Structure formats: structure tokens, C-alpha cells
């Protein structure tokens, strides 16, 4: 069983690790995809900003050229009028206007073709060379690029740079910035003669990328948490079942040994009686009969202790509640336990009342007190000293049983109320038992709506406290 448990544990651990790695790889892939998408959006936005800037500059230049043409046309007409005052200037004005309109039409056609070429090829290098990328221009481009990125949902701080650098220097520069966590757009060659490049640098872009991935990350975290929680619960369940199986096996072995001893004794006594059945040795026959009766009573008590515990997890123990004097019940249990043991037992009974009426199951509560007293005697050296206290706490009554015996280690205190559990004492237990008594005590107490607690220290003894409602609940 232990080997199979380890194999199953290994398989589950490997499965959980594999799924966690798959989720991690998937998230990392999504992160890289979002990062590349961010870079691509930034690069396209930068190209569009450059194109719009160049187009705006071209339009302003065209307006300036038109104004200059009109000025020159006016100057020419004024000069001719001064030289030839009597000359009719109207035909000349119409001719100049026709020439000017034809030139504007050619320029518009040329601009449309140039814009179409720009749209297909981004921007020709010869056009970028005409732009002076000084600080003022870079500031204007940064403002336009920021507005474009905000429209696209990108709010990362960035800065535009115009820098002269060789190709091999770019590789080292990119690697250094990548280590710092920054993102650089692909450099745009704006002046081949000077090896001048334009690029954008985004600092700490992971925040923007993570915000875009928060939905996927949240789902992955929920799935991973549910998976880990399921496996942890599975581990605990398997471990609990493994421990329970071992305890049941120990119980069966112990029960077999305990039942075999009285049965063998009775069989030997019966055989002896059969041999002396025709003799007149009444004393010897009575001796064997008393021995058989004692062993059968021992066997009966063991069976009763097993049957005390109702293993029906759904119904639990069926209680027959009725009023009775708890103080009288405890006194009877003390008197009975003294008679039934070979040890010298000194029980101190502490109470502050002449009687204490409770509404509970008298039979099961008597078994609870007997179990606690029996454990106190079994796990204490001879002579045995026990203190029993009965207290009226208003709506509840409290029964406290204190011994000064072996005590219980802290590691085992939380387990002593589990069915079949016995405190480990090596291969041989000095005290006989089945690990059912305290489980029965807890079940009866809980069925009454109460609670049971224990405090113990090795070598100094244990204190068991049972608290139940004075009146029936419900």
C-alpha cells in the first residue's frame, strides 16, 4: 500500500508540475506576442506620424510657393505697366494665370502619385533626408506619436531619439536596452550619408503588457489554484485513507489476539471439565467453571466495547434522552471502576452540589465516564491517583477527569480521538485496547451537542474535559 501511495503521489506531482509548466509557457508566449504587437503598433504609428508630418510640411511649402508666384506675377505686371503705360495688360494677366493653373494641376498630380508611393513604401529616403530632426521637430513628433498611441490604447512613457550609429553598434545597443527591460522600435534610417537613425524607446513596458493579459493571467491563476487545491485535498484524502487502512489492520490483528486468548482458555477449561465430569472433585470443576465464566465475561466486555461505537456516519448514535442525576452516575462509575481493577485506585471527586440533574442519554454518558476512568487507570502506574470534577456552568455541565500517568505527546493529541488510533509504543503495546474508546467518547459528546478537549504532558498525566448541554437541544 505504501509503495502504491508513493507512486500515485509521484504521478500526481508530475501531472501538477506539467500542467503548471504548460500554463507558464502559454502565459509567456502570450506575453511575448503582446510585446511584439506593442512594438508593431508603435512602429506603424511612428511611420504614420512621419508621413503626416512630411505631408503637412509639403502643404505648407506649396502654400508658400503659391504666395511667391502671385507676388512675382504682380511685380512683373507692375514693371511692364511702368515701362509701357499704354499697353493693355489683361492678355498677359490671363496668360500668367493659365500658366499658374497648369503648374498647380501638375503639382497636384505629382503629389497624388507621391502620396500613393508613400502609402505603399512608407516614406522614400530622399524625402526623410529633407527633414531636419532637431529637438523642436522631435518634440512635435513625440506629441503626435503620443496622441496616436493613446488612440490605440497605449499609454507607456517613451522618448524619440535621432542618433548617429553604425550597424554593429546598433546590435550592442539593442542588447543593452533589452537587459534594462526597455523596448526599442526598429531604427529608421533618415540620413544614409550620416548614418542617422530615428527610433522610439519605451521604458518599463511590462505594465502595459500585463494589463492587456490580466484576463488570461487571472484565469490561469484560478485554474492553477483549483488544480493545486484539488491535488492537496487528494493527497490528504489518500494519506488519511492510508492511515485508516493501517489502523484497521492493527485493530484486526489486536482484536484477533484478544479474542483468541479467552477462547483458548475456555476450550481448555471445557476439556478439563469433560475429563472430570464423572469424578466427585466438585472444587476442581467449580474452579474450571469460574475460569470459563471469567473469560467469557472478558470476551463479552470486549465485544460490547466494539459495539458501543456506532459506525453509521449518517445517523450516528441513537440517543435516549431522559433526566437523571449526573453526580450519582459518576459516583457509581467510580465505585464500579475500583472494584473491576487489580490496581490500587484513589479517586478524588470534586463537586459543589448535592445533585445535578441533566437531560441526556444515561447509558451512553455512563460509558463515556467509564472509558475516561478506565484509560486513566490503564495508563497510570500502581497506585493510581485520579481527580474527577463535576461543574455546573449554567446551561452546560462539565466533567473533568485528571490522571498523573504517562501523558500524551503533543504530536499525537490531535489524533487520539480518531477511530482505531493508538499512541505508538513500538511493536508491542503494554496496555491492551482497540483504539475505539476515545472515538466513542467524542461521538457521544458531539451527539449531545457538546465538546471534548484534552491537555497532556509526557510523564505528568492528562486532563480530559467533557462539556454537554444541561438540557436537550431541539
Q: What is the pLDDT of residue 75?
A: 65
Contact predicate 27/220, CB 8 Å: yes
Position 180 scores a pLDDT of 67
Q: Going residue by residue through the chain, which has 474 residues, state the pLDDT in tens, using 9 for 90 and above.
A: 556 667 777 887 788 788 888 888 888 888 788 888 888 888 888 888 888 887 777 766 666 555 556 666 666 667 667 666 776 667 766 776 677 666 666 665 655 554 444 344 444 555 566 677 888 888 888 888 888 888 888 888 888 888 887 766 777 777 776 666 678 888 887 777 777 888 888 877 777 777 777 777 788 888 888 888 887 887 788 777 776 776 666 556 555 655 655 666 677 767 766 666 555 667 777 776 777 776 677 576 666 656 555 444 445 667 889 999 999 999 988 888 887 678 888 999 998 888 999 999 888 898 889 889 988 998 888 899 999 999 999 899 999 999 999 888 888 888 888 777 777 665 545 555 556 778 888 888 988 899 999 999 988 999 999 999 998 764
The per-residue pLDDT for 117 is: 43
Under 8 Å between Cβ of 392 and 354: no
Give the fold, CATH level 3, of 213-308.
Helix Hairpins (1.10.287)
Nearest by Cα to 43 from 160, 165, 162: 160
Q: 321-469 — its CATH code?
A: 3.30.565.10
Give the whole-angstrom CA distance, residue 349 versus residue 327. 10
What span, in angstroms and rounded, lies between the C-alpha atoms of 161 and 133? Answer: 9
Please choose, from the candidates 153, 132, 189, the residue with its C-alpha nearest in 3D space to the C-alpha of residue 38. Answer: 153
Q: Coil, strand, or helix at residue 445?
A: helix
Cβ(262)–Cβ(298) below 8 Å: yes
Measured CA to CA, the distance from residue 257 to residue 432 in angstroms comes to 10
Cis preceding-peptide flag for 383 (omega within 30 of 0)? yes
Residue of 400, 404, 415 lying closest to 464 (CA atoms): 400
Q: Model's pTM, two decimal places?
A: 0.46
Q: What angle do CA 458, 459, 460 make, to 5 degrees?
A: 95
Q: 359 pairs with which residues across the strands?
A: 323
Q: Are 276 and 284 in contact (CB under 8 A)?
A: yes
Q: Where are the domains of the chain?
A: 2-211, 213-308, 321-469
C-alpha span between 328 and 339 (Å, rounded): 17
The CA R_g of the chain, rounded to the nearest whole Å, is: 49
CA nearest to 444, candidates 463, 467, 412: 467
Amino acid at each position: 500500500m505504501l509503495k502504491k501511495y508513493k507512486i500515485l503521489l509521484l504521478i500526481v506531482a508530475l501531472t501538477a508540475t506539467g500542467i503548471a509548466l504548460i500554463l507558464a509557457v502559454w502565459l509567456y508566449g502570450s506575453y511575448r506576442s503582446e510585446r511584439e504587437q506593442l512594438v508593431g503598433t508603435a512602429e506603424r504609428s511612428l511611420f504614420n506620424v512621419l508621413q503626416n508630418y512630411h505631408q503637412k510640411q509639403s502643404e505648407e511649402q506649396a502654400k508658400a510657393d503659391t504666395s511667391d508666384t502671385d507676388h512675382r506675377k504682380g511685380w512683373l505686371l507692375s514693371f511692364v505697366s511702368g515701362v509701357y503705360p499704354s499697353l493693355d495688360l489683361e492678355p498677359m494677366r490671363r496668360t500668367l494665370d493659365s500658366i499658374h493653373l497648369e503648374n498647380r494641376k501638375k503639382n497636384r498630380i505629382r503629389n497624388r502619385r507621391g502620396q500613393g508611393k508613400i502609402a505603399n513604401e512608407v516614406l522614400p529616403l530622399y524625402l526623410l533626408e529633407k527633414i531636419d530632426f532637431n529637438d523642436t521637430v522631435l518634440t512635435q513628433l513625440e506629441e503626435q506619436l503620443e496622441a496616436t498611441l493613446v488612440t490605440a490604447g497605449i499609454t507607456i512613457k517613451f522618448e524619440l531619439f535621432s542618433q548617429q550609429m553604425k550597424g554593429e553598434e546598433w546590435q550592442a545597443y539593442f542588447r543593452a536596452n533589452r537587459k534594462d527591460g526597455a523596448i526599442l522600435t526598429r531604427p529608421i534610417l533618415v540620413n544614409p550619408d550620416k548614418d542617422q537613425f530615428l527610433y522610439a524607446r519605451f521604458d518599463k513596458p511590462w505594465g502595459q503588457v500585463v494589463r492587456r493579459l490580466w484576463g488570461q493571467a487571472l484565469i490561469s491563476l484560478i485554474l492553477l489554484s483549483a488544480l493545486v487545491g484539488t491535488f492537496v485535498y487528494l493527497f490528504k484524502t489518500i494519506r488519511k485513507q492510508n492511515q485508516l487502512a493501517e489502523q484497521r489492520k492493527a485493530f484486526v490483528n489486536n482484536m484477533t489476539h484478544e479474542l483468541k486468548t479467552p477462547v483458548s482458555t475456555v476450550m481448555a477449561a471445557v476439556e478439563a471439565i469433560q475429563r472430570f465430569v464423572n469424578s466427585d472433585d466438585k472444587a476442581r470443576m467449580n474452579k474450571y467453571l469460574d475460569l470459563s465464566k471469567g473469560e467469557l465475561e472478558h470476551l463479552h466486555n470486549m465485544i460490547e466495547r466494539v459495539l458501543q461505537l456506532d459506525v453509521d456516519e449518517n445517523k450516528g448514535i441513537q440517543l435516549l434522552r431522559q433526566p437523571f442525576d449526573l453526580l450519582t452516575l459518576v459516583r457509581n462509575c467510580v465505585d464500579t471502576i475500583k472494584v473491576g481493577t487489580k490496581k490500587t485506585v484513589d479517586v478524588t471527586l470534586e463537586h459543589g452540589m448535592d445533585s445535578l440533574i441533566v437531560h441526556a442519554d444515561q447509558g451512553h454518558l455512563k460509558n463515556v465516564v467509564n472509558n475516561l476512568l478506565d484509560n486513566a487507570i490503564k495508563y497510570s502506574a500502581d497506585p493510581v491517583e485520579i481527580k474527577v470534577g463535576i461543574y455546573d456552568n449554567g446551561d452546560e455541565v462539565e466533567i473533568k477527569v485528571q490522571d498523573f500517568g504517562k501523558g500524551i505527546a503533543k504530536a499525537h493529541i490531535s489524533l487520539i480521538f480518531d477511530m482505531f488510533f493508538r499512541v505508538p509504543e513500538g511493536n508491542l503495546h503494554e496496555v491492551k485496547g482497540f483504539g475505539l474508546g476515545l472515538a466513542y467518547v467524542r461521538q457521544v459528546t458531539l451527539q449531545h451537542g457538546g465538546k471534548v478537549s484534552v491537555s497532556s504532558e509526557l510523564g505528568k498525566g492528562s486532563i480530559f474535559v467533557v462539556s454537554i448541554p444541561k438540557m436537550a437541544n431541539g
